[in-house]
Amino acid sequence: MPEVLRRERLAERALQLGERVEAGLRDLHQRYEVIGDVRGHGLLWGVELITDRRSRRPHPELGGRIIRRCLELGLSMELVSLPGLASVWRIAPPPTATAGQIDEGLSILDQANRERV
């Protein structure tokens, strides 16, 4: 393992911060019907976007609008969209992020979902 990873305890930090990300994303899942599923581990997460929980159809248009709003608010993330199969936000903060930065990112994601521009 490279010295910086060991010295900065980045693997441990990734797991701790990942728990914070997971808790925040699961909270958003409970509040927004357009979030169909939350999957991941550590600091790599996927959030499935759907039209509604009954049909579970992918919703790439909404995913794209929310991502653009997040970028306007200072949060960068990616939308992975496979026509007819999936629309998933890929969320991967760096292991050097702080708990405050994780919380800020989750807050931005919450705001963009509320606004659904």
Mean pLDDT of 41-64: 92
CATH number of the structural domain 3-115: 3.90.1150.10
More confident call, 117 vs 24: 24
pLDDT at res. 35: 96
Contact 34, 50 (CB under 8 A): yes
With a threshold of 0.85, does the pTM exceed it?
A: yes
Average pLDDT score over the chain: 91
Residue 21 to residues 50, 93, 112, Cα–Cα distance (Å): 20, 9, 17
Residue 46 to residues 3, 60, 87, Cα–Cα distance (Å): 30, 14, 10
